[in-house]
Amino acid sequence: MADTRTADIRTLLGGGSPEDRLSVTHLLVGAGFLIVGGILQLLSLMALRFAYLFPISYGRLEPAANLSLIIGFATISLVGGVYYVLPRLTGARLAMVRFGGLGLLGMAGLTVLGLLAIFLGFGDGDQPLGLPWWLDIPLAGVLFVPALMTVATIRQRVEQRSFVTLWFVIGGVVWLPLLYVGYLLADVPAASSVAVAYSQTFFSSGFVTMVLVTLGSGLTYYTVVKELDVPLASRQLALVGFWSLGFAAVWWGAAQLLFGPGPAWVAGVAAALGLAWPIGAIANASNVTMTLEGSWSDLGENPSVLSGLLGLYLTVGVAVVAALAGFRSIGAVASLTAFWEAIEYVALSGVSVLLVSAMSFSALPRMSGRELETARKARRFQRLTITGSVGVLVSLGAAGLLSGYSWIGGANSAAFVPVGEGWQTALGTSYTTLLFVAVLFGLVLFAGLGGYASILFGTLTRGRAIPQEVLVSREMGDE
Amino acid sequence: MSDLSAAAAALGIPEPLVQRSAAARAAQLGVSVDEILAQWAGGQAVPAATAPAPAAQPEPETAEPTPEAAAPAPVATPDVVIEVPGAPAEPAPAQPAGPYKPPVLVGAKDNPMTVLAGAVGLFVIVFLVGLIGPSIPTDIPGARTSHIDYSEAALHGQQVYLVAGCAACHTQMVRPVVADVGLGPVTLNDTNQVLGTRRFGPDLSDVGSRVAAGQIEAIIGGLGDHPGHDLGEEDMSDLVAYLAESNTSGGQPGAES
């Protein structure tokens, strides 16, 4: 037993089936980018509060954090989860495994190059990623890799009966590159300023709902059912969740530009269809909750199921807040403020790490033959992540509402009319205090993100050896 | 050749994997790792585990039942099965007959390609309605326009504005809402400014009418609470030109409004 404890990660990655090795590598690389993205995200939040202290402005920190978290962590980790479940759901070997390795190399390499480009001043400043065109185009190509591998694997499937996770996987991996291409198409130099603004909210909101929450929820369905060995409560509810998430994407993003120079009908449509996100989120959370019926007592002993449940509940909270801000009455106060920053901040770090951990806490021991390290650390990670996420959501959201009301108050009292810049003074200490509180909760959230990465690396290097699931071909097993 | 190498060769599985599997099996059976490896190297089967290992059975989701499976039915052998690699040749111990439990990770018989087609179709609709729709230029009253004829230097300054990340904190979008009263004329659909989606700093669509060029340069350099930007001389002057020409109301800095 002792010698297995000394095995390093490289050796571990040498074992198991090629698809599981690929999946584990994705999870490890994703965890690395999570740390980088978490630091950058926290620094960007600090730069909002203490702008004069930072040599790098919020304007560069934020796209760098987005790039690390969207592509480096969430995309790479969720794609790793897709490669884990695909063979197990289809009964077929993962197609084009080496192609998947190149895809990982491409995503990780382009993320690193993108970070360098942003910090060295070669970015194009477009939200949310700010990549120059010479990185945008190859990244769009690389994002097609998981979609191609998924389709190729499904075409060879043996299992003819689809578990619901397969829908979410198909939707997530297909929508990801299409979203990116759409974002690039509307962002060509000839595009109008309005088109560019909508393309940016289109991608950032679309990624959260159509990729992050779609894939995360689908993988959580798989994890919960597999871990508890109980059937899913409702296939129909999962169907509602899936199609609602696919349809929700644009509308909570478009709501950020409420009352802007776009057509007037956008406001009404955004308010009505923006509700699709909470509908989808509630459908998935309630479905998993019903599936857990009778297993609640085991929840504390099962970190992956608890992470999934917490992730889905946090998604519901974020989705409800976002949908509310889509209504004209609230949007008149909240749009353009830190209120939206709160939603994106928590979605990209808190929601994503909880949903990813639900899958990885279950999958990693099975793929690596190492017991999760440890249940106690997992509970601490969950506590920190939930506390930090809720704290950031509330404090940053409140700061946003406060600034919105201050603008209205200043306009009514004519305080801003002469100079237009007086609003900053008018916000006063309440606003800066709330931003400071958000920074404190951001630190707690970052501790949670670090806890996740620590568990992953700890499992692979120090986890106790346990029987390992290995995918072997029928021919191999028969020999 | 060591037992480990011999076992790995016999099983056709990488050595690290055999080592870990042997350790796990040894712990389960209460024997030494070397004994397990020696048995595997000699091609011998090991005694069955007293308790079934979690992964020793084929994954339920890969064992496809017949659609009518309401009772135990012959299970189709899939191309992929899950096994503990250390015991590929070990016959499974006879299981006592029990009530049939259907696999939990299978659903209705369907065609995933239909879902794929639906996902792509849905995306096309979402793209057209959610992105292209709002981006189509709308008719605006001829009396006013938000389009500004920027100079060459100012257009380069707009690129500097983007690259420096100014749009992450500043909007150039005045909305017809109470909160934006006093910021300048409402921004129309034909604007060629950088709209932005966050307003952590003041709106800059009409900044040229309020703040003189020299003061703009000082603010960019770090005056007050504004973060300092170390731009080159040309970039700085072009950025200042862009902001100074961002004057939608036609006012002059310092003039009483």
Q: Which has more confidence, A80 or A252?
A: A80
Closest CB from A125, A202, A469 relative to B167: A125
Closest CB from A88, A125, A194 relative to B61: A88
Which of A161, A221, A223, A251 should we substitute to test contact with B (largest number of B Cβ atoms within 10 Å)?
A161
What confidence tier does A305 reach under pLDDT thresholds 50, 70, 90? Answer: very high
Mean pLDDT for the stretch of residues A433-459 = 95
Q: How many CB atoms lie within 10 A of CB A308?
A: 31
Q: Do A196 and B195 touch (CB under 8 A)?
A: yes
What pLDDT shows up at residue A303?
Answer: 93
What pLDDT shows up at residue A315?
Answer: 96
Residues 185-244 of A with CB under 8 A from B: 186, 191-202, 206, 222, 225-226, 229-232, 235, 243
What pLDDT shows up at residue B9?
Answer: 79
Q: How far apart are CA B24 and CA B41, in angstroms?
A: 17
Per-residue pLDDT for A292 more than 60? Answer: yes
Mean pLDDT for the stretch of residues A307-322 = 96
Per-residue pLDDT for B244 more than 90? Answer: yes
Q: Which residues of A touch B114 (CB under 8 A)?
A: none
Task: Report in angstroms the alpha-carbon separations of A36 from A53, A74, B88.
Answer: 20, 13, 42
Closest CA to B130 of A374, A248, A344, A153: A248
Closest CB from B25, B193, B225 relative to A52: B225
Q: How far apart are CA A449 and CA A392, in angstroms?
A: 14
Q: Which has more confidence, A210 or A422?
A: A210
Per-residue pLDDT for B89 more than 60? Answer: no
Q: Do B122 and A243 touch (CB under 8 A)?
A: yes
Q: Which residues of B touch A288 (CB under 8 A)?
A: none
What pLDDT shows up at residue A287?
Answer: 96
Chain A's closest residue to B176, CA to CA, is A259
| Alpha helical stretches, state H, chain B | 3-11, 15-29, 33-41, 112-127, 133-135, 152-163, 213-220, 233-245
To the nearest whole Å, the CA of A435 is away from the closest chain B CA by 11
Per-residue pLDDT for A254 more than 90? Answer: no
pLDDT tens profile A338-354? 999 999 999 999 999 99
What pLDDT shows up at residue B36?
Answer: 82
Chain B's closest residue to A238, CA to CA, is B107
To the nearest whole Å, the CA of A277 is away from the closest chain B CA by 14
- CB-based contact B11:B90 (threshold 8 Å): no
Per-residue pLDDT for B239 more than 60? Answer: yes
What pLDDT shows up at residue B44?
Answer: 56
Mean pLDDT for the stretch of residues A197-209 = 90
Per-residue pLDDT for A3 more than 50? Answer: no
Which of B200, B204, B220, B239 should we substitute to test contact with A (largest number of A Cβ atoms within 10 Å)?
B200
What pLDDT shows up at residue A250?
Answer: 67
A477 touches B: beta carbon within 8 Å? yes
Q: Do B82 and A125 touch (CB under 8 A)?
A: no
Residues 266-295 of A with CB under 8 A from B: 266, 269
Top mean pLDDT of A110-119, A246-255, B68-77, B159-168 is at: A110-119
Query: What pairs with residue A465 in β-bridges?
Result: A370
Q: Do B184 and A243 touch (CB under 8 A)?
A: no
Q: What is the DSSP track for B72-128?
A: --PPBPPSEEEE-TT-TTPPPPPPPP------SS---B--HHHHHHHHHHHHHHHHI
What pLDDT shows up at residue B23?
Answer: 80
Q: Which has more confidence, A124 or A240?
A: A240
Q: Which has more confidence, A83 or A466?
A: A83
Q: Do B55 and A366 touch (CB under 8 A)?
A: yes
Closest CA to B177 of A133, A260, A190: A260
Q: Do B105 and A222 touch (CB under 8 A)?
A: yes
To the nearest whole Å, the CA of B243 is away from the closest chain A CA by 15
What pLDDT shows up at residue A186?
Answer: 74
Instruction: Write the CB contacts of B212 (distance below 8 Å, at least 6 apart in sequence).
Output: B244, B253, B254
- CB-based contact A401:A334 (threshold 8 Å): yes
Q: Do A420 and B183 touch (CB under 8 A)?
A: yes
A436 touches B: beta carbon within 8 Å? no
Q: How far apart are CA A361 and CA A374, in angstroms?
A: 10
Percent of chain A whose pLDDT exceeds 90:
56
Q: Do B193 and A193 touch (CB under 8 A)?
A: yes
pLDDT tens profile B169-209? 899 999 988 888 878 899 998 899 999 988 888 889 999 98
What pLDDT shows up at residue A222?
Answer: 95
Per-residue pLDDT for B211 more than 50? Answer: yes
Mean pLDDT for the stretch of residues B218-242 = 88
Task: Report in angstroms the alpha-carbon separations of A31 from A12, A164, A263.
Answer: 17, 27, 41
A127 touches B: beta carbon within 8 Å? yes
Q: How far apart are CA A33 and CA A111, in angstroms?
A: 9
Closest CA to A191 of B240, B199, B207, B131: B131
Q: Do A157 and B112 touch (CB under 8 A)?
A: yes
Q: Which residues of A touch B85 (CB under 8 A)?
A: 468, 470, 472
What confidence tier does A7 reach under pLDDT thresholds 50, 70, 90? Answer: very low
Chain B's closest residue to A230, CA to CA, is B104
What pLDDT shows up at residue B222?
Answer: 83
Closest CA to A315 of A363, A357, A283, A270: A283
Mean pLDDT for the stretch of residues A472-478 = 45
Chain B's closest residue to A210, CA to CA, is B123
To the nearest whole Å, the CA of A310 is away from the closest chain B CA by 22
Mean pLDDT for the stretch of residues A182-204 = 85
Q: How many CB atoms lie within 10 A of CB B100?
A: 11
Q: Do B85 and A63 touch (CB under 8 A)?
A: no
Q: Give the CA angle between residues B204, A259, A210 to the nearest 5°.
A: 100
Which of A468, A472, A474, A479 should we substitute to test contact with B (largest number of B Cβ atoms within 10 Å)?
A468
Q: Which residues of A touch B222 (CB under 8 A)?
A: 52
What pLDDT shows up at residue A426?
Answer: 58
Count of A-B CB contacts under 8 Å: 370
To the nearest whole Å, the CA of A164 is away from the closest chain B CA by 7
To the nearest whole Å, the CA of B90 is away from the closest chain A CA by 10
| Alpha helical stretches, state H, A91-164 | 97-119, 133-142, 144-155
pLDDT tens profile A99-131? 999 999 999 999 999 999 999 988 888 888 889
What pLDDT shows up at residue A424?
Answer: 57
Per-residue pLDDT for A152 more than 70? Answer: yes
Closest CA to A44 of B76, B220, B169, B10: B169
Mean pLDDT for the stretch of residues A289-304 = 87
Q: Which residues of B touch A403 (CB under 8 A)?
A: 199
| Among the ranges given (A89-103, A257-271, A377-391, B33-47), the one the predictor scored with the smallest mean pLDDT | B33-47
